[in-house]
Structure 1
Amino acid sequence: MGKSWRLRSISTIGLFFSLVVLLSGCPKRADLGDTGAISSSTATQSEEAVKPSKSIQEPPAAGAPSAQQPATAGQESPLKDAFFDFDKSTIRGDAKSNLNEDLQWLNSNPTAQITIEGHCDERGTAEYNLGLGERRAKSAQDYLVAAGIDAKRIKIVSFGKERPFAMGHDESAWKWNRRAHLVVSE
Structure 2
Amino acid sequence: MIVAGCTKPTVTADVFGPPPAATPEPSSSPGAPTAERPVASLGDIVTRPGTAPLGPPAPSDAPAPRTPLVSGRPAPVEFAARPELADIHFDFDRYDIRPGDTTILDASAAWLRANAGTLVLIEGHCDERGTDAYNLALGDRRAKAAMDYLVSRGIQADRITTLSYGKERPVCREHTEACWAKNRRAAFSVKAR
Report TM bin, short chain: 0.5 to 0.7
Correspondences of 1:32-111 after superposition (within 5 Å) = 41-43=70-72, 45-46=74-75, 48-49=77-78, 53=81, 77-111=83-117
The one-letter code matched in structure 2 to 1:113 is: L
Does 2:184 correspond to 1:155? no
- Distance in 1 (CA, whole Å) between partners of 2:111 and 2:157 is 16
Correspondences of 1:119-138 after superposition (within 5 Å) = 119-138=125-144
The one-letter code matched in structure 2 to 1:94 is: G
- Where has structure 1 moved over 4 Å in runs of 4 or more? none
- Distance in 2 (CA, whole Å) between partners of 1:114 and 1:44 is 11
TM-score, normalised by the number of residues in structure 2:
0.63
- Pick the structure with more helix per residue: 1
Q: 2:42: which partner in 1? A: 27
- The equivalent position to 1:143 in structure 2, one of 136, 149, 154, is 149
Does 2:181 correspond to 1:175? yes
Q: 1:115: which partner in 2? A: 121
| Pair 151,28 (structure 1): closer, same or farther in 2 beyond 3 Å | same
- Distance in 2 (CA, whole Å) between partners of 1:26 and 1:87 is 32
- Distance in 1 (CA, whole Å) between partners of 2:189 and 2:162 is 10
Q: CA deviation at 1:40?
A: 8.8
- Distance in 2 (CA, whole Å) between partners of 1:49 and 1:174 is 28
Q: CA deviation at 1:42?
A: 3.7
| Pair 44,176 (structure 1): closer, same or farther in 2 beyond 3 Å | same
* Aligned length, in residue pairs: 137
The one-letter code matched in structure 1 to 2:77 is: E
8 Å Cα contact 1:41/1:156 also seen in 2: no
Q: CA deviation at 1:45?
A: 4.0
8 Å Cα contact 2:69/2:75 also seen in 1: no
Which one scores higher on RCO, CA 8 angstroms, separation ≥ 6? 1
8 Å Cα contact 1:133/1:160 also seen in 2: yes
- Distance in 1 (CA, whole Å) between partners of 2:121 and 2:42 is 35
How large is the RMSD of aligned CA atoms in angstroms? 2.7
The one-letter code matched in structure 1 to 2:72 is: A
Residue identity (%): 40
